[in-house]
Structure 1
Amino acid sequence: MYEAEIKFIAPPGFRLPGTRLADAVYRDVYFDTPDGAFYASGRELRLREADGQTFCTCKNPPFDAASASKEELSTAVADTGAMEAVLTGLGFVRRMAYVKHCRRSRTMHNGLALELTLVTVDFAAGTFVEIEHQARDRALGLAALPVIRSYGAAIGLTREYPRAYTDLFLDARDRDVTEPRPC
């Protein structure tokens, strides 16, 4: 799937519109090659645990640089430990791990199903709002981005944040050299 997503900085007191979904806590572990080449190529490899389930996701380089929207290939994992052993057996190493707290809702706008997520992460201050649409191909993903942007503006979201949480994590870790965060 092509995840057309725009991330915004949440204004103070922002409330999610739409139909509320269950809140979620994601425990994410990202893997990379020892030399960092996989991540440097714009790809990401993640194990995510949430609500008693684990998913392994490979994100390809962005299909839209302005929003950093990516194609995501994901599958459920029956045994998290075994999957981590497979990844390390293939030569990947843990690059980072963090927790993402999400309050979620769903709505329709201009014929598109949109998922909205109010996000905080355990390594940085501030709150973000993600608005995303799952598209079946690149062209539909690109077509969804202006709709997402207009919907964001309509609900008071004006400050886009085009960087990935993984980039924000690495920036925070690099600034905090006296107390590095273990993976």
Structure 2
Amino acid sequence: MAIEAELKAIVRDPESVLAALEKTGGPDRVDVYQDTYYDEPAGGLMDADRELRIRTVHGPDSTRTVLTYKGARVDADSGSKPEFETKVADPAAAHEIFRGLGYVPRIAFEKRCRNYDLTADGRQVLATLVRVPEIDGTWLEVETSAADAAELPAALVVVRAVLHGLGIADSDLTTELYTDAVAAARP
């Protein structure tokens, strides 16, 4: 089991964080994520803090789709969750399979992302500057992988250090989910 060791922050000064990322992370990848979250009709997955998502990533040179399942949070402070992900060859078929199994789309939205691959303390780290057109603000997600719950604290120390190095204060951290913010913004 791998755990996505991730912290997310509200970015108060996007230009300054972008400049720090460009300096630290080198070239970026600009991607548009189209996310569809599925759930049981009664909402059992999301109510239990689990996620079932089909994400199509539109990049400058290619488009790819991944299926992701995230288990319930294993760390309340960070919101880190076990994550299982696999490539999807036929996105339309994947959506039909979910519907055929009785899952329903709970929410779908777009994320506009600038991704930077970093190395910190020997770990591969992904830093993503995020805008969601339906909600105001800019966020920074920094993540790495932890092999298990015992390794999670050390992984989060690295993630927090990257955030601090980019000028993000602990007071800017948030565990609010984009799904909740988008749902709240819709009439």
Distance 2:29 2:71 in 1: 28
Q: Structure 2 residue aligned with 1:163, among 176, 183, 186?
A: 176
Q: Identify which range, 105-114 or 122-131, moves more after superposition.
A: 105-114
Q: 2:163 is matched with which residue? A: 152
Of 34, 55, 80 in structure 1, the residue corresponding to residue 91 of structure 2 is 80
Any idea what the Cα deviations from partners look like across 1:35-78, whole Å, max 9, x if unmatched?
11111001010001113211111110011111111111111111
Give the aligned length: 174
- Identical-pair percentage: 37
Offset from partner CA, 1:118-147 (integer Å, 9 cap, x none): 000121010001111022322223321122
Matched, 1:57 2:57: no
Offset at residue 113 of structure 1 (A): 1.9
Match of 1:41 in 2: 48
What is the TM-score when the length of structure 2 is the normalising length?
Answer: 0.87
Per the TM alignment, residue 116 of structure 1 is displaced from its structure 2 partner at its CA by 0.6
Instruction: Summarize deviations over 1:156-178 as a string: whole Å, max 9, x none.
Output: 101101122112122222xxx2x
Taking only aligned residues, the RMSD between alpha carbons, in angstroms, comes to 1.4
Point out 4+ residue stretches in structure 1 off by more than 4 angstroms. Answer: none
Q: State the partner residue of 2:7.
A: 6
- State the alpha-carbon separation in 1 of the partners of residues 56 and 164 from structure 2: 32
2:128 aligned residue: 117
SS at match of 2:46: helix
Aligned to 1:23: 30
**Greater mean deviation of Cα atoms: 125-134 or 7-16:** 7-16
The correspondence of residues 94-105 of structure 1 with structure 2, limited to 5 A, is 94-105=105-116
